[in-house]
Amino acid sequence: MNKDITYLEQQAKVVRRGIVEMCYVSGKSAHPAPALSCSDIVAALYYGFMNVDPKNPLKEDRDRFILSKGHAAPVLYSVLCDLGFFPKENYKTLRHVGGNLQGHPVYPKTPGVDMTSGSLGNGLGIGLGMAYYLKYSGKKSKVFVMLGDGEVNEGTVWEAVNIAPVLKVDNLIAIVDQNHFQSCGSTEDICPMQNMAERWRAFGWHVLECNGHDMHEIVNKLEIATNYHGLPTVIVAHTIKGKGVSFMEHDNAWHQHAVSKEQYDIAMSELA
């Protein structure tokens, strides 16, 4: 674990390169833009904060990461691959039937994945269950749950938001990747969730906000969240869908899209 900002910024680039590479070499239409929007936070978590071991992916005292917005799977696969959980060779199998890397994370098929996800709205409730068990059996592990801002339209999210502060699961840290888009358009047009931070605060959470692409802010807020006692923390992260690849930024056509050779070359040169 290394919290040096320059190092983490570099690792975020490594994560983004992995996303673009697997979306290209697999030849499949995957979800690059949702993965790129949370790359900085995922890099900060895995290289700077989380206790995980590629040689022992299921070790009991590990920290857990739940990609509740499971369609962003390439970001998780990229970081896990770079950490040595599986070889890069697997990139070719992204979204292939029977392949090692399914379009959405599958537990325990892919080493390092802590929960099967893809059906939106389930990660926070399951993360809450994990956090409750870990805390009240005396373990030090933290549970991090990454949600999309479209995903929080799901009612199941709010059941977990409601009960988590009551259970005082201060080892549970939710992150809302607020990129203002979902699959079919802007979250504001489809089902607005104004005052995201206020909503969570009203349910009794410890609430933080950050620019989800500023590594200083991300590390600072994660530091506060991981040391906070008595309540679960949510970090509302303000992000850009497709961040890091110019032609994907702000263009929701890249929610799910295949990457051509030409697009791959441009993206990799921008991420060099």
Ligand X SMILES: Cc1ncc(C[n+]2csc(CCOP(=O)(O)OP(=O)(O)O)c2C)c(N)n1
Closest of 22, 15, 69 to residue 40, by C-alpha: 15
- Minimum CB distance to ligand X, residue 212 (Å): 11
Q: Which of 26, 100, 102, 182 touches ligand X by CB under 6 A? A: 182
For residue 151, CA distances in Å to 2, 97, 135, 202 come to: 31, 26, 26, 19
- Please state whether the peptide bond connecting residue 192 to the residue before it is cis, i.e. omega within 30 degrees of 0: no
Comparison of 188 and 265: residue with beta carbon closer to ligand X: 188
- Minimum CB distance to ligand X, residue 104 (Å): 8
Residue nearest to ligand X (CB): 148
- From 43-51, 123-131, 147-155, 210-218, give the range in contact with ligand X by CB under 6 A: 147-155
For residue 240, CA distances in Å to 36, 99, 110, 177, 250 come to: 8, 30, 28, 9, 7
Is 34 a residue that touches ligand X (CB under 6 A)? yes
Q: Are 143 and 133 in contact (CB under 8 A)?
A: no
- From 77-85, 124-132, 142-150, 197-205, give the range in contact with ligand X by CB under 6 A: 142-150
For residue 268, CA distances in Å to 11, 62, 239 come to: 15, 33, 21
Alpha carbon 6 to chain centroid distance?
Answer: 21
Q: How far apart are CA 170 and CA 140, in angstroms?
A: 11
Instruction: Write the secondary structure of 157-214 as one string of H (helix), E (strand) and C (coil).
Output: HHHHHHHCCCCCCCCEEEEEEECCEECCEEHHHHCCCCCHHHHHHHCCCEEEEEECCC
- Minimum CB distance to ligand X, residue 179 (Å): 5
- Minimum CB distance to ligand X, residue 239 (Å): 8
Bridge partner list, 166: none
- From 84-92, 149-157, 166-174, 209-217, give the range in contact with ligand X by CB under 6 A: 149-157
Q: Look up tokens 């699961």; give the residue.
A: 169
Comparison of 37 and 171: residue with beta carbon closer to ligand X: 37
Interaction pattern, residues 104-133, with ligand X; x per rule: CB under 6 A: --------------xxxx------------
- Minimum CB distance to ligand X, residue 182 (Å): 3
Q: Which of 37, 78, 90, 110 touches ligand X by CB under 6 A? A: 37
- Minimum CB distance to ligand X, residue 200 (Å): 16
Residues that bind ligand X (CB under 6 A): 34, 37, 69, 71, 118-121, 148-151, 177, 179, 181-183, 187, 241, 255
